[in-house]
Structure 1
Amino acid sequence: MSDDLPIDPERNTQSEPLSRAIGERYLTYALSTIMNRALPDARDGLKPVHRRILYAMRELRLSPNGAFRKSAKITGDVMGNYHPHGDAAIYDAMARLAQDFAMRYPLVDGQGNFGNIDGDNPAAARYTEARLAQTSETLMDGLTEDSVDFRPNYDGTLNEPVVLPAAFPNLLANGASGIAVGMATNIPPHNLHEVIDACLHLIKTPDARDDTLATLIKGPDFPTGGVIVESADTIAQNYRTGRGAFRVRAKWEQEDLGRGQWQIVVTEIPYQVQKSRLIERLAELIQTKKIPILADVRDESAEDVRIVLEPRARNVDPEQLMAALYRVSDLEVRFSLNMNVLIDGRVPKVCSLKEVLRAFLDHRREVLVRRANFRLDKIAARLEVLEGYLIAYLNLDRVIEIIRYEDDPKAVMIAEFGLSDVQVEAILNMRLRALRKLEEIELRAERDGLLEERETLQAMLADEAAQWSRIADQLKEVRNLFGKSTPEGQRRTLITEAADVEPIDMDAMIEREPLTVILSRMGWIRAMKGHQPLDAELKFKDGDGPAFALHAETTDKLMVFASNGRFYTLPANGLPGGRGMGEPLRLMVELPNEAEVIAVFPWRDGEKYLVASKAGDGFVVAASDILAQTKTGKQVLNGEALLCKPVSGDHVAVVGTNRKMLVFPLTELPEMARGKGVRLQRFGSGGGLLAADSLSDATFVTLAEGLSWPMSGGKTRTESDLGEWLGKRAGAGRMAPRGFPRDNKFA
């Protein structure tokens, strides 16, 4: 009855701080992600999902020379027996192991559609078939010989290997990538022949330096080829620290078409770049005329990559064209190096090249010792049986008599010949055909061979140098299978230093055409062909209207000055066309939502501009100091900006919200590149919230010509004598002339 009583929540609840509870649980999750999902083991270079896939395929007897099996069957076995996660994730991982454009040495031999370099996904698991590749068989060689530890699977019904024996350094040969919690890994693939050469050198010289190993492993060797443009010093530094990056470019050649015509043919693209997206990007560059010297791009790829780039003119330099494309497309990428791996399957560490190779070699030595001890045990067991057989042959008539007439022949033979239980069982299980004389000779030969093998193994176990010699021989065997002597083992990625190419003046290549730029109040910008009337009626979105209209040319750089004091630069030839409503300016530059556009104008070299804030501070800035190189713009004026006007005349006229005007010489304004500036006009405190203490407008005047402003009816009024308002900079000024515009604006 007591078992049916309700549980008392107060007695069975333990209280602890929320921060501790969340911290402990998140730490458990983080450790699980790091150890069992994201980071590869330095010994076999595999993550748990890949290791389980290969082991499950081995259990299905999918040998490299055997039949293929449906991928759905393989995925199901992996999920049901070893990896209780989604079948889609398992199939994606297995498909990647079969992709020759993703793996330098594929571990799975796939049959069917396993995806392509264009970025297309593999076919469904029910349509594709797979089996183990020769490389996988090499990774699992000796798995049944107690070479590695096994552990129970997730439900305890089966056992799975903790790590594979790994006859070659798969971590470097095929690379790895993954994102854990608070750490990540990204290791490029390398040439197996070079990696084994480095291992052999490290066996011969255990205290070898990373720089020496870097001369043997020249750099990554990507399955898609390409060209690494890094110096030997940079590559050595990357391998020494375990962190860095490699610049990888597409491989191309100039194809002569005759009569002075030529085209560029790209035959290899950087690793992990999708060809379809690359071509879309190149087509976009042509459409937006960002690379005006590029006329066309075509994908003529079949089995191999062949991307054709046509120049706009025959006098274009191909090196300069490619240098321009490297900067704006994935024809050049940076592959980051972060050799963060699990040492002994337990400790995550960013390792140098030498540390990674040392972890593999130490693992190989442990595998060698365990396999040798396993073989010694097998030899001992077999020798025991052989000794029993030979005793039986020496006393064959007596053995037959005992078996024929004794009620308990086993006990009699043990007592009479001193045999062990195992030996007697083996004798009793002998076939009659094994009693021939030739069989005895074969047994003696087998015993002598086993004794010799045992002696060799024991000598090897007693001598560390002999162990390393055996490991070196095994590595050389693998090198012969997958090294440079085979077509797949040849280096695919070239390594060179980037050549100095003089950059192309893109502005000089843009066709000069007139434009009319329109910016609406809501921030939509467009460029209409030709110089249209600035007061022409245009269509805008509901609730929107014109804010700025100006004439420009396609070769111009358009400057946008905002109330946050930043200048933004837009190429006029990159603006959207005038057929629609345009595009939001804030998608082109990183203009904050609270910032308003104050001025838009074409940039002119040599000009100077007055920038001023609402607080009444300002200065003159040169055109060369306002060009922005990035979308974030360039900060020039500190404070809330009010205006930006090109410098002209010899005096500056300013007016405040208090309608007081001041005219002072232009020479009193300093020229600066950035800052708050100097006081233009002094305002009285006024008191209260309605204090007139801000600048309203400023303009430039030529003192001899006076100051003009528009009047109603299209008329203009000119105040020729400005002596009443003439003063020093930062003065208070006097009330504006009679008839001055009510909006306190000069124009």
Structure 2
Amino acid sequence: MSSESPDVPDDVADRVKNVRVDEEMEQSYIDYAMSVIAGRALPDVRDGLKPVHRRILYAMHESGVTSGSGHRKSSNIVGDTMGDYHPHGDSPIYDALVRMAQDFSMRYPLVDGQGNFGSVDGDPAAAMRYTEARMAPIAEELLTDIEKDTVAFQANYDDRLTEPAVLPSSFPNLLVNGSSGIAVGMSTNVPPHNLGEVIDATIHLIDTPDCTVLDLMEYVKGPDFPTAANIVGRADVKQAYQTGRGRVRMRAEYHVESNGRRDSIVITELPYQQNKSTLVERIADDVRDGKLEGITDLRDESDRNGVRIVIDLKQKANTDVVENRLLESHLEKTFSVINLALVDGEPKVLTLKELLAEYVSHRKEVVRRRSEHDLGEAEDRAHILDGRLTALENADEVVELIQDAEDRDAAKETLKSAFDFSQDQADHIVRMQLGSLTSMEAADIESEYEDVTARIERLEEILGSEQELLDVIKDELREIKTQYADERRTSFIEDTGTVADEDLIPEEDTVVVLSEGDYIKRVPAETFDAQHRGGKGIIGSDLKDGDRVSTVFTASTHDYLLCFTDQGQVYRLKVYQVPEMSRTARGTSAVNILDLDDGEEISAVVTADDLDFKADDEYLTMATRNGYVKRTSVGEFGNILSTGIIAIDLEDGDALADVEVTDGSHDVILGSEAGMAIRFDEGDVRAMGRNARGVRGMDLDAADRIAGVAAVESEDDRSLLTVTEFGYGKRTRVGEYRSQSRNGKGLVDIKTGDRNGDVVSVDAVGDDDSLVVMSADGQIIQMPVDEISTVGRNTKGVNIMAVGSGDEVAGVSVRAADQADGEE
């Protein structure tokens, strides 16, 4: 092996340049980005096509796979495109071909496909070896006159062939079929439109160049999606057309069908680019998770005739409410308009008028170049015909000259000399057959010469007058409209705003049940008939094994509640958001309604509708299990996050027991689990922030804990209702609880022990109120308060609810008399 070094040019060192790495990387990335932008991702404003789509159509044109030919294997078309024009792999080429054939993706498909080209369910197309395709008739309009030097051509990737840099495009394809794509640092998303509307607007722009976008919107009403459906409101469309960017709300088309017993919501048109099967799956998931109530069945009955998704509702379901929930979560979609396209090779966001103006400019260039090409051909033909006419007029002499010539070249030279023919004329005359010298042939030539002369005059007129050229463009656009335009598919509906659910849900009193296993439900209060005290009640919840009721409270479906937990958090809840179920139902997972932590339980509920969050004399008074009490202005609870906010700072081992609304003039009664009670002026507790712990309210024995708090007035004629864990309770007039200083031991309220068990709740009640008591095992009883005897303090009370062995009272809720009166 030779050890000699290879020859190295002497100037190699001079050609080495030192560059900064950061500058080289920056420039190289910019070059790469522009290559992606111009060469792959963004459409040209003139024909509305990306390079891959343009090359597919041109390859089909060159191969003769037009609308009049038979279908050809897609793999053949992809192979031709990849081998000659687009060397980027067969998969992206076939994907582009498939999309051009999908009538749910393209408003006017450019490819006529045969076989499985995918579906609105998101099903992929069959492999390219199974499908066949050819150009759709409207696609040929994009290539019309391409052979007449109407557009510039460029070398293909290997300099073996040439390809068009843009197609002549007889209609504004970018607006008509839209386009979407993601480049480096930018994206485009042009919605499809109705062909007739776009052509009318283009003609109006030609006639009135100084028109505004609003003027053009008299013709282009808005996007026209292939899947039809609806556009909500016109303001967003106006913004998109005026700025080139906007967000258009699309809504499915649906109606309600009724069989007399129950309703069904039937969806017949979907928003553009909405996957039908995914939509059905998401609705089903929400029904299963309890986010959508009132639905019994969901079926996809779609076929080749169109979309039909049937949602069967429960017999007592509120159809308006279900519609509202479906609209909020599933039946609306947003189309982000970004009218970004390449203008002279550079990306630019365009208004509606600018898009049409760029197209008109393109067509002017196409028609001008076509006219120049046709004029050249016509002049050449006229020149030949002029020579033939001269030859016919001097037929005998021409024949004689040709006969006397030694050969063809000599004959041509003789003719040129004798009649002043050009070389082309002489060549043509020498090739003429004797049969063309008949009088009939002569008449045909004269007629053709007149036609060609008239065409020359017309072409010169077009090239010499801007208005004539524009008239040609308008006439050709009208022909396209006549042949391909159809009715608008997408409708407009007014944006009336979202209807509040409480406007659709009847107001009624309900019982809300929450279990330790985090199941929640609501049941109409009328489900539970009033019973006499001492009864066992009826089943109020079918609990899972090991689960127990943790909370029960009554509220109206329209109530907005503040739910306080034992861990000191407060959440907001609209009662109608809790799924309504039968009294024997288990409920739905509470995680869908309240963002509670593991083991966190609701310990108090306050109706927020009557609270004035701007008032400075309204408070939430809280009591903890360890005897602390705190007042906080309601104004600090006016903005509660969905994940809750801190209501009170608890020390280790403490928990929030109860909450009452006060106004600075109330007395507070704290009741303990051991049956003690203390009453003191709320003014003894200064107002504090949410993060404060509070001050001592009651001096508890070591094993005792606070069971609840009640707010009473100085001249209160109500009673203090005390209920124990084994279902016993009593009423004692508020006046029997003398006021003292906070942090005292208090007085005996009720005797606890083996029969009664510990106290579970204390509430201030009126004689006309009613009571709902629920056990941990799910038994529930409703009774009038006056069923419970009014006795003195320090008594055992009477049996309120017959609690079974191993069971205990889990919750007590007072239904105020004014609630019941309001319902009646």
Shorter-chain TM-score tier: 0.7 to 0.9
- Give SS of 2:70's match: coil
Pairwise CA distance, 1:333: 0.8
Aligned residues: 646
Note if contact 2:111-2:135 (Cα within 8 Å) is conserved in structure 1: yes
Shift in CA distance, 628/135, structure 1 to aligned 2, threshold 3 Å: farther
Contact 1:229–1:495 (CA<8 Å) still a contact in 2? Answer: yes
1:207 CA displacement: 0.5
Shift of the 620–610 alpha-carbon distance from structure 1 to 2, 3 Å rule, reads farther
Superposition pairs of residues 121-132 of structure 1, within 5 angstroms: 121-132=124-135
Q: Give the Cα–Cα distance (whole angstroms) in 2 for the partners of residues 494 and 583 of structure 1.
A: 39
* 1:494 Cα deviation from its structure 2 partner: 0.9
Q: Is the 8 A contact 1:611 1:637 kept in 2?
A: no
What is the CA distance between 1:63 and its match in structure 2?
1.3
Cα deviation for residue 707 of structure 1 reads 1.9
Alpha-carbon shift at residue 321 of structure 1 (Å) = 2.8
Is structure 2 residue 703 aligned with structure 1 residue 710? yes
Contact 2:262 2:313 in 1 (8 A): no
Match of 1:382 in 2: 381
Unaligned runs of 5+ in 1: 484-488, 519-524, 539-547, 575-581, 653-662, 681-697, 713-721, 727-747
Which range moves more in the overlay, 558-567 or 100-109? Answer: 558-567
Residue 459 of structure 1, aligned match among 443, 458, 461:
461
Q: Partner of 2:69: helix, strand, or coil?
A: coil
Aligned alpha-carbon RMSD (Å): 4.3
1:78-116 C-alpha deviation (Å, 9 max, x unpaired): 111111112111101110000001111000000011011
Contact kept in structure 2, 1:403 and 1:409, CA below 8 Å = yes
Alignment of structure 1 residues 252-651 onto 2, 5 Å: 252-257=254-259, 259-303=260-304, 304-313=306-315, 316-317=318-319, 319-329=320-330, 331-344=331-344, 346-407=345-406, 408-483=410-485, 489-499=486-496, 502-505=499-502, 514-518=513-517, 550-551=550-551, 599-601=600-602, 604-606=605-607, 608=620, 620=632, 622=634, 625=637, 630=642, 633=643, 645=656, 646-647=658-659, 650=668
Q: Which moves more between the two structures, 235-244 or 159-168?
A: 235-244
Give the CA deviation at 1:401: 2.8
Distance 1:296 1:700 in 2: 56
In 1, Cα distance between equivalents of 2:277 and 2:599: 41
The CA deviation at 1:490 is 0.9
Q: How far off its partner does 1:628 sit?
A: 5.0
Question: Residue 371 of structure 1: CA displacement?
Answer: 0.6
Aligned-residue offset at 1:440: 1.5
Task: Name the stretch that deviates more: 369-378 or 464-473.
Answer: 464-473
Structure 2 residue matching 1:215: 3-state secondary structure: coil
Flag the 1:563–1:355 CA change in 2: closer, same or farther, 3 A.
farther
Q: How far apart are 1:121 and its partner, in Å? A: 0.6
Q: Does 1:148 align with 2:141?
A: no
Seen in structure 2, the aligned counterparts of structure 1 residues 277 and 553 have a Cα distance that, compared at 3 Å, is farther
Is the Cα contact below 8 Å between 2:233 and 2:495 reproduced in 1? yes
- Which residue pairs with 1:739 in the alignment? none
Mean alpha-carbon deviation: is it higher for 433-442 or for 598-607? 598-607
Q: Which moved more, 1:67-76 or 1:240-249?
A: 240-249
Which of 43, 49, 52 aligns to 1:49? It is: 52
**Percent of pairs identical after alignment?**
36
State the distance in 2 between where 1:242 and 1:550 align: 56
For residue 216 of structure 1, give the secondary structure of its aligned residue in structure 2. Answer: coil
How do 1:76-225 and structure 2 match up within 5 A? 76-225=79-228
CA contact (8 A) 2:623 2:659 kept: no
Residue 75 of structure 1 and its aligned partner are, at CA, apart by 0.6
**Distance in structure 2 (CA, Å) of the matches to 1:376 and 1:454:** 6
- Match for 1:400: what amino acid? V
Q: Distance in 1 between matches of 2:92 and 2:566?
A: 48
**1:236-251 paired onto structure 2 within 5 Å:** 236-251=238-253
Confirm or deny: 8 A CA contact 1:326 1:332 kept in the other structure.
Answer: yes
Is the 1:606–1:624 contact (alpha carbons within 8 Å) kept by the matching residues of 2? Answer: no
- Residues 181 and 296 of structure 1: is their aligned pair in 2 closer, same or farther, counting only changes over 3 Å? same
The 8 Å contact of residues 39 and 185 in structure 1, kept in 2 or not, is answered as yes
Cα 1:641/1:238, change in 2 over 3 Å:
farther
- 1:670 counterpart (687, 690, 698): 687
Give distance in 2, aligned partners of 1:144 and 1:459.
22
C-alpha deviation, 1:513, in angstroms: 7.0
Gap change, CA 1:603 and 1:289, over 3 Å in 2:
farther
**In the aligned structure 2, how far is the partner of 1:327 from the partner of 1:510?**
26
- The alignment's TM-score, normalised by the length of structure 1, stands at 0.76
Output the amino acid matched with 1:504. D
Deviation at 1:572, TM superposition (A): 6.8
The question of whether the paired residues in 2 share the 8 Å contact of 1:62 and 1:131 is answered with: yes
| 1:316/1:563 CA distance change after superposition, 3 Å | closer
- Once residues 515 and 617 of structure 1 are traced to their aligned partners in structure 2, the CA distance between those partners, rounded to angstroms, is 26
Alpha-carbon offset, residue 402 of structure 1: 3.0
Answering whether residue 41 of structure 2 is matched by residue 38 of structure 1, we say yes
| Structure 2 CA distance for aligned equivalents of residues 639 and 19 of structure 1 | 54
TM-score normalised over the length of structure 2: 0.69
State whether residues 230 and 493 of structure 2, in contact with CA within 8 Å, keep that contact through their aligned partners in structure 1. yes
Aligned partner of residue 604 in structure 1, secondary structure: strand
Shift of 1:47: 0.9
Amino acid at match of 2:455: E
Residue 313 to residue 348, structure 1, CA distance change in 2 (3 Å): same
Distance 1:626 1:492 in 2: 46
Structure 1, residues 184-238: CA drift from partner, whole Å, max 9, x if none?
111111111111111111111111111111121111111111011113x443232
Question: Structure 2 vs 1, CA of residues 677 and 130 (structure 1 numbering), >3 Å: closer, same or farther?
Answer: same
Structure 2: distance between partners of 1:428 and 1:617 = 120
**Shift, 1:550, TM fit:** 4.1
The aligned residue for residue 687 of structure 1 is none
* 1:6, distance to aligned residue in structure 2 (A): 11
Partners of 1:40 and 1:176 within 8 A in 2? yes
The 1-side partners of 2:83 and 2:623 are apart by 71
Q: What SS is found at the alignment partner of 2:217?
A: helix
Please give the alpha-carbon distance, in whole angstroms, between the structure 2 residues aligned to 1:15 and 1:619.
74
Aligned partners of 1:430, 1:641: CA distance in 2, in Å?
Answer: 115
Instruction: Provide the rounded CA distance (Å) in 2 between the counterparts of 1:139 and 1:562.
Output: 71
- Long gaps (5+) in structure 2: 522-538, 581-587, 609-619, 661-666, 671-679, 706-739, 745-824
User: Do 1:513 and 1:553's aligned partners in 2 also have CA atoms closer than 8 Å?
Assistant: yes
* Structure 1 residue 597, shift from structure 2 partner: 7.3
Contact 1:609/1:644 (8 A) holds in 2: no
Q: Are the equivalent residues in 2 in contact too, given 1:567–1:636 (CA < 8 A)?
A: no
Shift of 1:32: 1.4
Q: CA, structure 1 residues 388+623, in 2 after alignment: closer, same or farther (shift >3 Å)?
A: same
| Contact 1:263 1:311 (C-alpha < 8 Å) held by counterparts | yes
Is residue 609–residue 620 contact of structure 1 (8 Å, CA) maintained in 2? yes
CA distance in 2, matches of 1:371, 1:75: 30
Asked if the contact 1:151/1:162 (under 8 Å) is kept, the reply is: yes
Q: Which residue of 1 aligns with 2:20?
A: 17
